[in-house]
């Protein structure tokens, strides 16, 4: 009888496993989403070389090219002409009083708690470090207008504004079927994607090397002067640039409220400056809308918005975007760019990008890493975007612009990307590549004079980009990280999340549904639930018979086990019996000890011990005096004595008193053999045959068969423990700890198996410096009323059929701050009063 | 049954790609294309709705892009990026999201499938995702990493910072819990 039940349980699990696999395999992301995310990532990618060229030149193989980290599709400003710039703020009378100077809230129910106190928020505290601003009772709503696509004429006229004298070239647009235009004189470059969606640089080479530009005391003055003198609007507000360096000027609406996107971005003009306070780069992406607005609409106060923010039971009408802050400890690397003298024959390496001219009489323009190539460039224009080449020629200066005059070129050269250390050998500098343990030395040709001659990997590191020719490394860019543990990263985020309601501008309020009451009954904590005994349903049992056997109510049994209303139970089902607790001790229980050691960022170590009981495979976290002794029996079968308790997460704890190693002399070993997947007694197993004996592989605790297998890949090595007398379905068993191929299929070389049982591997602690996961506190540093509009990339992807007319610019309360772990908090609360909202959520991730 | 396919060479290849991706957008695009589906499946299995899954997928890859330098090639790229996915999810999922019915996914017809089959798939995904919320978070995570994201147990162990044995245990108990505590079993054809 028991055997039958066991088989039923296994079959059920198998069937569930199959169902999971099946559902998983059917699940695919929406194709358009995937494509647009790829586009966004390309735009955000910042290679050391060719960043600018990434969004200027395209190859036939790339279907579209992105602009920047906060990529937008085209939304153009409604200003009809940019020469000279009209002032929208002057054209439109603000509808609401100017609210750009927030004053402390005068709400008599002022919620700001005393300093040091905070609001309860997600298991931690939220501190308001900013006053709640006073606000108007109404704001406007604006209608978004579809932007005009780019034309060569528009590009030409913009180029004139910037003072670029050059031809217009074709660039691929940000979306399939769209096109962009590029104007360049070999040094300056303008790429236009659409009305009010373009990027300019005054110096392509410098711009590539200086993504963030230089900080300047008088930046704002310099920038506003530049905008004004070049005929651009100045109805913008300078904001912090965050992840992007340089300067960001946010677009303002006619009533001077800033316009924002939902995912930590805004329509803006982004500018980088040179050392001399000149504009190095300018990227314009502005929202396009009808400045006349749709009227006056009531909004909630900042206080009401804060209540909505704090209440996690309210999930709609707000959006949160979070992202991790930039790595505070990041020290940027020292970087060398290989320079060459002018008018000397040199051989250089780099990536090609080329663009066809709009005017067919004008030749295709070719760049090698942002330097225009002239001379014998025949054939270069047909190369795929970013092809790596070797070329010989001379740098020359033509009309004040530096170019490369090509004598010859070839593409029989591999772009090498080296990562490792440096040492000196005699008068040579050797770079040692440690990429995937390759451990290859290269002589560095023409090393920079001030490159450290000893870089000890892995404490420090260099990355070298270049070409390996005849075993020697010809470098183009070298990064040197004095502290290689700190190579940057962090940042990243975006993704607005949905949550705003659709607008109801009909004039007739729509009723919102009220919440349904929760199911009633004794609320057991997770710990209590974990401590209750389980009962396996037998043939002939009913819910009633089980309930009376244990003296619990049927309704409780039903509720705790999530049964259906008709109380149906099946044979073999394992029910939790509420209110009846299980054993609170283990006495000589057999099982396996597992040990993990974590290293915290501050260097402290944290050990975690887990005991897995053999007979029912229950997982106990182990504590007790002298728990370090347990490290001696890591991965080994033992008997253990101790008391059981449960924590509030429902995890079982064993406070151990003593333990005994069952086979103290038994060794872990590596065996080599052949695997075979088969079914034994209805269960999937892996058979392992070595030296004439066939075993069944078991998981490392011995509880059940091991399922991981290499399909027909020849000889396999296993790291195992063979327990005397342990069998499964008549086969001797091996407890498997690690597995790997015996031979590297690509080289034919024998491979050693990385041993995991010889010593306990120390891994980074996922809890960081905490002892457990502690939700971080939140501090709100800024509260502001803004206008929110759809990020254009999301808008189109979510509903390509929706006419642009459905997208609105609507008011929202913007709360900004930080988590105590440095991550940024960014929450938007829909500000329109409920009478202007529909209970249906917006189909767009953002407002609309 | 999980299958480890030539893990060594695949890992080498991806480490190469990841190094190149620091500078080369094409290399990153390749990695993205290889791993986007598994990241997306991870998220949608957890959140059960398309919009959140897309947002999380986007966040995950943006973070991966930022942090690509720190992928040292010790272990699989899949495990690394799912580690990021899991952190993103934990951050994102602290406020309850409205359960937008997957009817909204009507905007995304599965390519080439008749509508009723697409509807069935949606409902199945919805019920699986809901069921996974009825079991312990760790067990659900182990199941999602292996069944939805296709990680081997060893790779999942990396993501979860546990031993492989622990992962197998979590999966086994998780499947059992799914059977005991949810109606998923009733929907399975035996």
Q: Is residue B69 pLDDT above 60, yes or no?
A: yes
Among A143-152, A496-505, A577-586, which is the least confidently predicted range?
A496-505
Of A12, A21, A316, the CB nearest to B147: A21
Average pLDDT, chain B: 72
Query: Per-residue pLDDT tens for A277-335?
Result: 899 999 898 888 898 999 999 999 999 999 888 876 666 788 876 555 454 555 677 88
Question: What pLDDT is attached to residue B183?
Answer: 67
Judge contact between A367 and A373, C-beta under 8 A: yes
Q: Is residue A684 pLDDT above 80, yes or no?
A: no
Of A19, A435, A740, the CB nearest to B188: A19
Of B1, B58, B125, the CB nearest to A677: B1
Inter-chain contacts counted by CB atoms under 8 A, chains A and B: 297
Q: How confident is the model at residue A608 (pLDDT cuts 50, 70, 90)?
A: confident
Of the candidates A51, A49, A39, A58, the residue with the CA atom closest to the CA atom of residue A353? A58
Of the candidates A847, A833, A734, A731, the residue with the CA atom closest to the CA atom of residue A798? A847
Backbone φ and ψ of A675, nearest 5°: -100, 155
Query: Per-residue pLDDT tens for A543-585?
Result: 999 999 999 998 888 888 777 667 777 765 667 788 888 778 9
Question: Measured in Å, how far apart are chain A's first and last C-alpha atoms?
Answer: 62
Q: Is residue A168 pLDDT above 90, yes or no?
A: yes
Q: How confident is the model at residue B4 (pLDDT cuts 50, 70, 90)?
A: very low
Among A233-237, A447-451, A570-574, A664-668, which is the least confidently predicted range?
A570-574
Among A50-64, A827-841, B32-46, B160-174, which is the least confidently predicted range?
A50-64
Largest CA distance in chain B: 51
User: Would the CB atoms of A45 and B63 count as touching at under 8 Å?
Assistant: no
More confident residue, A33 or A107: A33
- Angstroms from A673 CA to nearest CA on chain B: 16
Question: What pLDDT is attached to residue A774?
Answer: 66
- Angstroms from A685 CA to nearest CA on chain B: 9
Query: Per-residue pLDDT tens for A333-386?
Result: 788 999 999 999 999 999 888 889 999 899 999 999 889 999 999 999 888 777
pTM: predicted TM-score of the whole model, two decimal places: 0.53
Average pLDDT, chain A: 77
Question: What pLDDT is attached to residue A474?
Answer: 95
Q: Is residue A71 pLDDT above 70, yes or no?
A: no
Q: How confident is the model at residue A680 (pLDDT cuts 50, 70, 90)?
A: confident
Question: What pLDDT is attached to residue A682?
Answer: 66
Query: Per-residue pLDDT tens for B89-102?
Result: 876 654 333 333 33
29-88 in chain B: CB under 8 A from chain A? 29, 32-33, 36-37, 40-41, 44-45, 50-59, 61-70, 73
More confident residue, B138 or A3: B138
> Alpha-carbon torsion A642, A643, A644, A646, what sign?
negative
Distance between CA atoms of residues B111 and B124, nearest Å: 18
- Angstroms from A190 CA to nearest CA on chain B: 21
Q: Report the run of H or E that residue A190 belongs to, with start and end.
A: strand A189-194
Write down the residue that tokens 């270049």 correspond to. A466
Which residues have CB under 8 Å from A191's CB, separation 6+?
A: A55, A56, A67, A171, A180, A181, A182, A198, A199, A200
- Find the residue in B nearest to A18 (Cα): B188
Which residues are paired to A169 by β-bridges?
A: A182, A357
Question: What pLDDT is attached to residue A766?
Answer: 61
Residue B126 contacts A, CB cutoff 8 Å: no
Q: Give chain B positions within 8 Å (CB) of A488.
A: 66-67, 69-70
Q: Report the run of H or E that residue B128 belongs to, with start and end.
A: helix B115-132
The gap from C-alpha A787 to its chain's centroid, in whole angstroms, comes to: 27
- Find the residue in B nearest to A38 (Cα): B29
> Alpha-carbon torsion A402, A408, A411, A415, what sign?
negative
Residue from A265, A418, A495 whose CB has the most chain B CBs within 10 Å, to mutate? A495
Q: Is residue A193 pLDDT above 80, yes or no?
A: yes
Distance between CA atoms of residues A552 and A535, nearest Å: 13
Of B15, B57, B180, the CB nearest to A574: B180
Q: Give chain A positions within 8 Å (CB) of B143.
A: 20
Of A41, A497, A596, the CB nearest to B52: A497
User: Would the CB atoms of B179 and A9 count as touching at under 8 Å?
Assistant: yes
Among A47-51, A380-384, A840-844, which is the least confidently predicted range?
A47-51
- Find the residue in A nearest to B107 (Cα): A799
Mean pLDDT of A585-610: 88
Q: Give chain B positions within 8 Å (CB) of A677.
A: 1
Q: How confident is the model at residue A712 (pLDDT cuts 50, 70, 90)?
A: low
User: Would the CB atoms of B128 and A20 count as touching at under 8 Å?
Assistant: yes
Distance between CA atoms of residues B83 and B77, nearest Å: 10
Residue from A9, A13, A20 whose CB has the most chain B CBs within 10 Å, to mutate? A20
Which of A389-403, A460-474, A612-626, A821-835 is modeled with the greatest confidence?
A389-403
User: Would the CB atoms of A596 and B179 count as touching at under 8 Å?
Assistant: no
Mean pLDDT of B131-142: 83
Distance between CA atoms of residues A303 and A619, nearest Å: 47
Question: What pLDDT is attached to residue A803?
Answer: 47
Question: What pLDDT is attached to residue A410?
Answer: 94
Size of chain A in residues:
848
More confident residue, A725 or A78: A725
Distance between CA atoms of residues B79 and B158, nearest Å: 6
Mean pLDDT of A96-101: 30
The gap from C-alpha A345 to its chain's centroid, in whole angstroms, comes to: 45
Judge contact between A107 and A303, C-beta under 8 A: yes
Query: Per-residue pLDDT tens for A777-819?
Result: 889 999 999 999 876 654 544 444 444 445 789 999 999 988 8
Q: Is residue B114 pLDDT above 50, yes or no?
A: no
Up-side HSE of residue A140: CA atoms within 13 Å toward CB? Answer: 25
Of A28, A738, A845, the CB nearest to B37: A28
Question: What pLDDT is attached to residue A330?
Answer: 58
ipTM greater than cut 0.85: no
Look at residue A272 and give its three-state secondary structure: strand
Q: Give chain A positions within 8 Å (CB) of B111.
A: 31
Of A24, A573, A746, the CB nearest to B180: A573
Q: How confident is the model at residue A178 (pLDDT cuts 50, 70, 90)?
A: low
User: Would the CB atoms of A30 and B57 count as touching at under 8 Å?
Assistant: no
Mean pLDDT of A56-82: 23
User: Would the CB atoms of B175 and A708 count as touching at under 8 Å?
Assistant: no
Q: How confident is the model at residue A488 (pLDDT cuts 50, 70, 90)?
A: very low
Q: How confident is the model at residue A457 (pLDDT cuts 50, 70, 90)?
A: confident
Structure tokens at B51: 């919009």
More confident residue, A263 or B47: B47
Question: What pLDDT is attached to residue A372?
Answer: 95
A280: left (phi over 0), alpha (psi -120 to 50) or beta: alpha
Q: How confident is the model at residue A244 (pLDDT cuts 50, 70, 90)?
A: low
More confident residue, B16 or A577: A577
User: Would the CB atoms of A42 and B25 count as touching at under 8 Å?
Assistant: yes
User: Would the CB atoms of B104 and A843 count as touching at under 8 Å?
Assistant: yes
- Find the residue in B nearest to A61 (Cα): B26
Residue from A19, A322, A526, A574 whose CB has the most chain B CBs within 10 Å, to mutate? A19
Question: What pLDDT is attached to residue A767?
Answer: 67
User: Would the CB atoms of A489 and B69 count as touching at under 8 Å?
Assistant: yes
Q: How confident is the model at residue A519 (pLDDT cuts 50, 70, 90)?
A: very low
């Amino acid at each position: 009888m028991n055997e039958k039940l066991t088989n039923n349980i296994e079959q059920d699990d198998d069937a569930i496993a199959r169902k999971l696999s099946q559902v998983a395999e059917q699940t695919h992301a929406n194709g358009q989403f995937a494509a647009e995310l790829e586009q966004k990532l390309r735009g955000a990618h910042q290679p050391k070389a060719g960043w600018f060229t990434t969004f200027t030149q395209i190859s036939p193989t790339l279907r579209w090219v992105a602009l920047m980290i906060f990529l937008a599709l085209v939304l153009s400003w409604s200003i009809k002409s940019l020469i000279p710039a009209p002032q929208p703020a002057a054209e439109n009378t603000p509808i609401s009083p100017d609210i750009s100077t927030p004053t402390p809230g005068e709400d008599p129910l002022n919620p700001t708690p005393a300093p040091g106190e905070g609001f309860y928020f997600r298991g931690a505290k939220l501190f308001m470090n900013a006053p709640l601003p006073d606000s108007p009772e109404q704001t406007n709503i604006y209608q978004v207008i579809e932007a005009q696509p780019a034309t060569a004429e528009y590009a030409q006229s913009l180029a004139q504004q910037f003072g670029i004298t050059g031809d217009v070239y074709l660039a691929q647009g940000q979306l399939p079927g769209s096109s962009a235009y590029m104007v360049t004189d070999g040094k300056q470059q303008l790429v236009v994607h659409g009305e009010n969606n373009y990027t300019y640089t005054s110096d392509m080479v410098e711009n590539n090397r200086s993504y963030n530009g230089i900080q300047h005391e008088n930046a704002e003055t310099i920038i506003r002067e530049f905008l004004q003198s070049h005929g651009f609007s100045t109805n913008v507000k300078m904001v912090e640039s965050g992840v992007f360096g340089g300067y960001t000027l946010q677009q303002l609406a006619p009533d001077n409220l800033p316009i924002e996107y939902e995912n930590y971005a805004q329509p803006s003009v982004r500018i980088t400056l040179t050392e001399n306070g000149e504009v190095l780069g300018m990227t314009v992406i502005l929202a396009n809308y009808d400045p006349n607005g749709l009227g006056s609409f009531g909004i909630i106060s900042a206080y009401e918005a804060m209540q909505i923010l704090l209440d996690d039971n309210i999930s709609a009408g707000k959006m949160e975007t979070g992202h991790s802050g930039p790595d505070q400890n990041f020290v940027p690397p020292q970087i060398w760019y290989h320079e060459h003298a002018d008018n000397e024959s040199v051989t250089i390496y780099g990536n090609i990008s080329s663009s066809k001219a709009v005017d067919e009489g004008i030749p295709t323009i070719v760049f090698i890493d942002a330097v225009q190539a002239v001379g014998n460039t025949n054939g270069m224009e047909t190369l795929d975007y970013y092809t790596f080449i070797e070329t010989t020629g001379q740098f020359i200066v033509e009309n004040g612009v530096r170019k490369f005059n090509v004598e010859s070129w070839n593409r029989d050269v591999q772009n090498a990307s080296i990562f490792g250390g440096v040492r000196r050998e005699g008068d040579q500098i050797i770079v040692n590549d440690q990429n995937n343990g390759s451990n290859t030395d290269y002589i560095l040709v023409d090393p920079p004079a001030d490159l450290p001659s000893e870089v000890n990997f892995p404490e420090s590191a260099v990355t070298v980009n270049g070409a390996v020719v005849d075993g020697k490394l010809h470098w183009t860019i070298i990064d040197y990280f004095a502290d290689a543990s700190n190579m940057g990263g962090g940042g990243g985020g975006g993704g607005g999340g949905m949550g705003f309601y659709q607008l109801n501008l009909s004039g007739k309020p729509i009723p919102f549904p009220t919440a349904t009451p929760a199911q009633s009954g004794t609320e057991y904590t997770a710990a209590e639930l974990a401590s209750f005994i389980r009962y396996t349903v037998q043939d002939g049992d009913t819910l009633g018979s089980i309930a009376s056997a244990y003296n619990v109510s049927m309704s409780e049994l039903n509720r705790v086990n999530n049964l259906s209303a008709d109380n149906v139970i099946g044979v073999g089902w394992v029910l939790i019996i509420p209110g009846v607790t299980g054993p609170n001790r283990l006495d000589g229980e057999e099982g396996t000890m597992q040990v993990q050691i974590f290293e915290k960022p501050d260097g402290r170590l944290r050990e975690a011990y887990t005991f897995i009981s053999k007979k029912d495979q229950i997982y106990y976290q182990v504590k007790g005096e002298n728990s370090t002794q347990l490290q001696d029996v890591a991965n080994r079968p033992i008997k253990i004595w101790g008391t059981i308790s449960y924590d509030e997460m429902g995890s079982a704890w064993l406070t151990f008193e003593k333990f005994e190693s069952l086979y103290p002399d038994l060794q872990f070993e590596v065996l080599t053999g052949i695997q075979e997947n088969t079914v034994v007694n209805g269960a999937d197993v892996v058979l392992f045959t070595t030296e004439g004996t066939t075993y069944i592989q078991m998981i490392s605790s011995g509880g059940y068969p091991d399922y991981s297998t290499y399909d027909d890949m020849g000889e396999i090595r296993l790291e195992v423990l063979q327990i005397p007398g342990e069998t499964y379905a008549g086969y001797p068993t091996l407890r498997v700890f690690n597995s790997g191929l015996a031979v590297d299929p690509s080289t034919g070389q024998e491979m050693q198996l990385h041993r995991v049982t010889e010593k306990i591997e120390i891994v980074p602690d996922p809890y960081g410096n905490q002892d457990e996961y502690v939700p971080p506190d939140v501090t709100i540093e800024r509260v502001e009323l803004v206008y929110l509009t759809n990020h254009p990339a999301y808008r189109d992807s979510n509903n390509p059929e929706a006419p642009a007319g459905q997208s609105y610019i609507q008011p929202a309360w913007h709360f900004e701050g930080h988590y105590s772990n440095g991550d940024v908090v960014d929450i938007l609360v829909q500000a329109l009063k409920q009478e202007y909202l529909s209970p249906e959520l917006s189909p767009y991730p953002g407002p609309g | 049954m999980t299958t480890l396919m030539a893990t060594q060479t695949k890992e080498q290849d991806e480490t190469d790609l990841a190094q190149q991706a620091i500078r080369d957008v094409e290399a990153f695009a390749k990695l993205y294309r290889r791993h986007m589906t598994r990241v997306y499946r991870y998220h949608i299995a957890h959140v059960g709705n398309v919009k959140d899954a897309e947002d999380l997928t986007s966040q995950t890859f943006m973070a991966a892009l930022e942090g690509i330098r720190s992928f040292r090639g010790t272990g699989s790229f899949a495990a690394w990026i799912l580690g990021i996915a899991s952190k993103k999810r934990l951050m994102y999922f602290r406020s309850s999201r409205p359960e937008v019915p997957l009817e909204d996914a009507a905007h995304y017809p599965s390519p080439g499938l008749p509508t009723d089959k697409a509807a069935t798939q949606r409902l199945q995904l919805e019920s699986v995702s809901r069921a996974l919320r009825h079991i312990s978070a760790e067990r659900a995570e182990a199941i999602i990493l292996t069944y939805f994201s296709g990680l081997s147990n060893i790779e999942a162990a990396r993501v979860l910072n546990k031993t492989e044995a622990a992962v197998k245990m979590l999966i086994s108990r998780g499947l059992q819990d799914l059977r005991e505590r949810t109606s998923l079993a009733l929907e399975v054809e035996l």
